[in-house]
Structure formats: structure tokens, C-alpha cells
Amino acid sequence: MALKSTIFKAEIQIADMDRAYYADHSFTIARHPSETDERMMMRLLAFVLNADESLVFSGGLSVEDEPDLWRKDLTGSIELWIEVGLPEEKLVRRACGRAKAVHVCCYGGHAAQLWWKSVADKLTRQENLAVTEISQESSRAMAKLAQRTMRLQYTIQEGEIWITDGVTSVQVEPVLLRPFRDTRK
């Protein structure tokens, strides 16, 4: 018998002062049986970093050839493809060919650094690629905020992110390994 996804409900408030984006979002998130709380919370953070009314969670781990999140235009063309974790270089190159912009949000401490070192040179021609690293300390602290029903506030200012559930706060300082070029301009 196959394991079923665990369902989480999340209400999030975003105050992104860097992009002047202020919005509330409600999600029902299916956490795949092989997914950890840490990865699920990283998917939420990836949403927050790229928040937009058209950005949606895709099939992710359950559907081959789909990212963790994406934004499509009205014609169905992929404007933004977001991967969380340490994707294979081949998958990133393929995504760069399919989408106007690709954002990889990596985490995992030393493993993330080794991953980037191994793929950075191979991805130099991918002009529509951005890579952001989240420290292992931050991703693990975010995992502790995971609950079946969550109400989280995200505040972004000068590149730093503060996350709170009203009791516990987590500060996240993303490291931009490769700059993101906004293709919506």
C-alpha cells in the first residue's frame, strides 16, 4: 500500500519591502511521503521570495518534469520555474530552455556548497538562471515552525527575511550565488 501525502494548511502574510509586495496567501500543501518538514518549509520560502498572484505550487516530487513552483502566462508559457534543493545539472539546463527564468533555492549546508561547486561552471551559459543558498541552520530552524495548521508572517527587508508564527521567530539571510534577472520588465 502506497503512503499518502500529509496535508498542511498555511496562512501566510508577506511584507516584502524590497519588492513592495504585500499580500496574504492561503495554501493547502501536500507534503510527499519522502519529503521532510525542512524541504516543505523551503518550498514555502521559495514561494515567499518570488511571491506573485500567478505563482503556484506544481506537482513537484509527485510529477516528473515539473518544478516545485512555477508561474505561467495566459498562453501557458512558463515565465518562472523554481526548484528547491540540489537539482541535477541536466534538469536545470532543461528548465532554462523551457522557462523565461529559473530560480534554484538550494539548502543543505556543506552538501549545497559541494553541489554548487560541481555545477556552477556547467551552468555559466544559462543567463536566465538565479541560484540562492539558504544556510542549514536557517532551513532547520524553519522546519521547527512546521505544523499541520500554520499562520506565518514573513518580513523581507534589505535581503534579510524574518519569519514568525507569533511565538517563535527565525531570521534567514539568503546568499545569492548567482543573481536573478527579472524577465518581467
pLDDT in tens, 152-168: 999 999 999 999 999 99
CATH annotation of 6-165: 3.10.640.10
Q: Are 5 and 145 a contacting pair, CB within 8 Å?
A: no
pLDDT higher than threshold 80 for residue 105: yes
Q: What is the mean pLDDT of the chain?
A: 92
87 vs 181: which has the higher pLDDT: 87
pLDDT at 2: 62
pLDDT at 183: 44
HEC assignment per residue over the chain: CCCCCEEEEEEEEEEECCCCEEEEEEEEEEECCCCCHHHHHHHHHHHHHCCCCCEEECCHHHCCCCCCEEEECCCCCEEEEEEECCCCHHHHHHHHHHEEEEEEEEECCHHHHHHHHHHCHHHCCCCCEEEEEECHHHHHHHHCCCCCEEEEEEEEECCEEEEECCCCEEEECCEEEECCCCCCC
Quote the CA–CA distance of 170 and 145 in Å, as a whole number: 9
For the chain, the domains span: 6-165
pLDDT higher than threshold 90 for residue 32: no
C-alpha cell at 80: 518562472
| Contact partners, residue 37, CB within 8 Å, separation at least 6 | 31, 143, 146
pLDDT at 9: 97
| Contact partners, residue 88, CB within 8 Å, separation at least 6 | none
Banded model confidence at residue 62, pLDDT cuts 50, 70, 90: low
Q: What is the pTM of this model?
A: 0.92
pLDDT at 132: 97
Identity at 138, one-letter amino acid code = S
Banded model confidence at residue 180, pLDDT cuts 50, 70, 90: low
pLDDT higher than threshold 80 for residue 169: yes
Least confident of 63-67, 83-87, 109-113, 117-121: 63-67
Give first-to-last CA distance, the chain, whole Å.
Answer: 48
Quote the CA–CA distance of 23 and 20 in Å, as a whole number: 10
